Structure 1
Amino acid sequence: MVLLGTLVNGLTIIIGAYIGVKLQRIPEKMKETVMKAIGLAVIILGITMALEGQEFLLVIFSLALGGILGERMNIEGKLNQLGGVLGKRMKRGSESSNIAEGFVAATLLFVVGAMAIIGALDSGLRGDHSVLLTKSVLDGFSSIIFAATLGIGVMFSSIPVILYQGSIALGAAYIVAFVPEELLDLMVSEITAVGGIMILAIGLNIVGIKPVRVANLLPAIPLAVLFVFIINTIA
């Protein structure tokens, strides 16, 4: 089954988030300390991912142009509106902003990175789900921690994870047929670098440093793919 690894990944995020929400009844001071610790760990993760890029100027251009497009599209605002809707439907109107924050933070953490892409390609091409199953374990534990501090919004991140990885898995044969392996590897590294900087920004938000509208940087990811393709086509 091509989507097995992706579906398991989505399920572990849901289960982990459910467990995390149940662990929310902890003292505020303890929750604040844990949240700061998570923020610091996320910052280190972001830095590590950002250093995987091979073309730093490409990363800068992707983030700059992506930020312009994201601000024009007001992605962050739309996600906050979605969080408000989800909060009202769940009768947690006061937590709507936390739902959006948890959703965005967890989505970027679980979607952006080499494991999501490579694992989905392996599932689609060879029926090998080992990478995604390993990622599922990591995401499951991460969702417990995130949901315990950021709330139930983390659970909704399973939807974009399934859609994103599932699309790659289903289209794997077409992707490999049209994109040479060397070019695909370069695309993965630049996506990871761009995503790493976004995750670094999420860490800064969690720690409480000047907030960054991370969701408005999301267009930088497809732009990085486009720029890599254009550069290699010209070269």
Structure 2
Amino acid sequence: MIPGIGTLINGFGVIISGILARIIFKKELKNFEENLLPLGLLVLALGFRETLKSPDFILTLFAVLLGAIVGSYLKIENRIKTFGDKIYLRFEKGEGDKTKFIESYLTTTLIVITGPLAIIGPFFDVVESNLELLLIKTALDCFLVIFITSSGGKGAVYSGISILIYQG
């Protein structure tokens, strides 16, 4: 198996599902939050499963806290927002609601690149040729992007670029 194929599947899966959502869903999907509840529960269950497998829970907790501190110090959220602004100007050519575009790009990007699956998924893909976690992540990310895009958040489509950069 080709190392890194899972990241390509994840990134392009998000881009394709977002494009399809823009084409297919001309009207907003109703009950956005209610539709995402099962997604959140699935992520929670997956997190519990992986946590129970890990003998070093304290190390994992420390890594998450350290990541939050470093991310805050490096102002990663502002950098993602700036990148979203550049994407908007380049690909959307100033059409549509810029604030909603950047907000949907930022929200989706932060969700798809900050979770544990974004870290351990590529690791298992490259080291063990195990795509299971990245395929699960791809399904979850695509579902999220479809709902955000269909509710008017065109920027969510471009979070696939962030996945390719971050996980690649």
After superposition, the Cα gap between the structure-2 partners of 1:137 and 1:56, relative to the gap in structure 1 and judged at 3 Å, is closer
Match among 130, 140, 143 for residue 142 of structure 1: 140
> Highest relative contact order (Cα 8 Å, sep 6+), 1 or 2?
2
Deviation at 1:71, TM superposition (A): 1.6
Find the partner of 2:98 among 93, 99, 124. 93
1:158 and 2:134 aligned: no
1:112 to 112, 119, 123: 119
Question: Cα 1:122–1:57, aligned 2, differ >3 Å: closer, same or farther?
Answer: closer
Aligned-pair CA distance for 1:88: 4.6
Structure 2 Cα separation of the partners of residues 64 and 155 of structure 1: 29
Q: What is the aligned residue count? A: 156
Q: 1:25 to 1:45 in 2, by over 3 A?
A: farther
Give the counterpart letter for 2:49 in structure 1.
T
- CA-CA distance at 1:55 after TM superposition: 1.8
Unaligned stretches of 5+ residues in structure 2: none
Tell me by how many angstroms 1:51 deviates. 3.3
* Aligned amino acid, residue 86 of structure 1: I
Alignment match, 2:67: 66
In 2, Cα distance between the equivalents of 1:42 and 1:24?
A: 28
Q: Compared with structure 1, are the counterparts of its residues 77 and 51 closer, same or farther at alpha carbon in structure 2 (3 Å cutoff)?
A: farther
Task: Specify the code of the residue in structure 2 equivalent to 1:120.
Answer: V
Gaps in structure 1 of 5+ consecutive residues: 124-130, 167-235
Q: TM-score, normalised by structure 2?
A: 0.68
TM-score (norm 1): 0.52
- The amino acid across from 1:147 in the alignment is V
Greater Rg by CA: 1
In structure 1, what residue type is equivalent to 2:5?
G
| Aligned 8 A contact 1:87 1:93 in 2 | yes
What's the offset of the Cα at 1:75?
A: 1.3
Q: Which residue of 2 aligns with 1:32?
A: 33
Question: Structure 2 CA distance, aligned partners of 1:118 and 1:143?
Answer: 18
Q: For the residues of structure 2 that align with 1:156 and 1:27, how far apart are their CA atoms?
A: 20
Structure 1 Cα separation of the partners of residues 28 and 107 of structure 2:
20
